[in-house]
Structure 1
Amino acid sequence: MPSAAERTRTLVQSTCSAVLVVPGVEAPLPEQLVPEGRTVGEDGEVYLLFPADSPAVRAATHAQDDELSAVLELTDVAPVSVPHRIRGRAWVSGWLTRVPGVAEPGRMLLRLEVGEAYVDDLWGAQAVEPDDFAAAAPDPLVEHETELLQHLASVHGGQVRELRTLLGERAAGAADLRAAPLALDRFGLRLRFSDGHGPRGHCFDVRFDFPEPVADVTGLRRAMRTLFEAARS
């Protein structure tokens, strides 16, 4: 399974929603604290791109040499329709400073030096040390996961449903059991099964591990082909 640091790093570098919370800073519009872009530097620092007039930029400017604490809050929502769509949340907290002269006119890059992090997702909840966050790598499928899950749901829905045959007694007597691809990483595919009886119906998740970790989309295609063949055999 991916480590807590890898999962946190993946969320930071994914397209999931994020908001920067700076104590004492309020924004007239919530989207003013939503970074337009984010990336992670070589030493594990998180770089956030904001409009130059953002309340976060003004706060970092006024703080100057004082330490300005901030928390990057991330919310990961499944890109396909499933019951209980929030897959996880992460919090990356630290100290915020400006990085002048890097962004294009009208924009400002802010640097969040990571002090601590915490992730609570489908794997569980766990704290993450800054050094572990800096050393971790995002999942190689992170840039493609949304598209891949939506493709599985819309084009390969029948094959995804066939995976219920691998559940054995757990799926016995559940002819109307539905399946939706919930999450995908280099180690495997997670499906959410539900009985289809509305939002209060019963649902559960099942993880299908790949024979070996995949490094790219090409490797994923081979792994998925193996998985679908196992369901048909």
Structure 2
Amino acid sequence: MGDSQTWAAVPSAAERARSVLTAAWSCAVTAEGGREELIGAHSVSDDGRVLLRLPEDSALFAAAICAPRGEPSAVLEFADVAPVPVRHRIRARLWLAGWFGPFGADGDHVAFHATRVVLRRPSGAVVVGLDDFAAAAPDPLAAAEARLLTHLADAHPDAVERLTRLVDPGSLYGAVRIRPLAVDRHGLTLRIERARSHGDVRLPFHTPADDIAQLTERMHHLLTQASAAGCPRALQRQRADGDR
């Protein structure tokens, strides 16, 4: 790849938005007919269009059929929820404003044509350009992220603890629990919880991972680095206090 700046990269807003769509299992749809929560009813085309399977008796279905074509008439909302239990589990929210159109020969689906895409993360909200959104690809690990993080947290808590050796000791001061919060092709994010606050620390991979086999190698590389590092003084002090 390139230099360290490339290695430490994070997904773009467009890529993050597409990843939220890929991983989400449910969405909320607000239209003139009201608001409905749909479970397992959407899929995503290669260009980012959301395809919805709506019940025929749905008020939203009527709104989709009757709304003027091309005029914004509905909003889709997706929540990105951390798969591992942590405080404030919503990592991001994605809103798509736009209009419905027919899709499929049998008419059992509608396609959502977005006219505005907004991604909100803890750092703030950003409007994602429609061309960037259509051209972006979801993170290659997005569909497997929940399984990967859950396995790391449940089966390898010792590895998570070892990875804290790569974290600045000041960020660990007062920590009461550390959990894996997110992983993407560029790195792993840890959630550091304190008694009354929390913070996130990102551990970048030395090169991006495009599949699970590469992710395994990147994680081993981080753990090797962590093994070569000493235990952070702040964490040592907490352990000593807890042993008293």
| TM-score normalised by length of structure 2 | 0.82
Alignment check: 8 A CA contact 1:165 1:171 kept:
no
Alignment check: 8 A CA contact 2:54 2:109 kept:
yes
Residue aligning to 1:74: 78
Q: Which runs of 5+ in 1 are unaligned?
A: none
Question: Measured at CA, do residues 19 and 90 of structure 1 come closer, stay the same or move farther in structure 2, by a change above 3 Å?
Answer: same
Deviation by residue 1:146-178 (Cα, 9 ceiling, x = unmatched): 01110011011111012221224315665x642
How many pairs align?
Answer: 219
Is the aligned partner of 1:207 residue 2:187? no
Q: Percent identity between the aligned chains?
A: 38
User: Counterpart of 1:135 in structure 2: which amino acid?
Assistant: A
State the secondary structure of the residue aligned to 2:191: strand
Residue aligning to 2:20: 11
User: Counterpart of 1:2 in structure 2: which amino acid?
Assistant: P
Residue aligning to 2:192: 193
Residue aligning to 2:140: 140
Alignment check: 8 A CA contact 2:25 2:40 kept:
no
- Which of 198, 216, 221 does residue 216 from structure 2 map onto? 221
State the secondary structure of the residue aligned to 2:100: strand
Measured in 2, the distance between the counterparts of 1:168 and 1:66 equals 51
Q: CA deviation at 1:51?
A: 2.1
Q: CA deviation at 1:206?
A: 0.3
User: Counterpart of 1:12 in structure 2: which amino acid?
Assistant: L
- Structure holding more helix per residue: 2
State the secondary structure of the residue aligned to 2:143: coil
State the secondary structure of the residue aligned to 1:13: helix
| TM-score normalised by length of structure 1 | 0.85
Measured in 2, the distance between the counterparts of 1:162 and 1:214 equals 21
Measured in 1, the distance between the counterparts of 2:173 and 2:17 equals 38
Residue aligning to 1:25: 33
Deviation by residue 1:165-202 (Cα, 9 ceiling, x = unmatched): 1224315665x64210001111000000123x3xxx23
Q: Output aligned runs, 1:45-124, within 5 Å.
A: 45-63=49-67, 67=71, 69-102=73-106, 108-122=108-122, 124=124
Alignment check: 8 A CA contact 1:77 1:85 kept:
yes
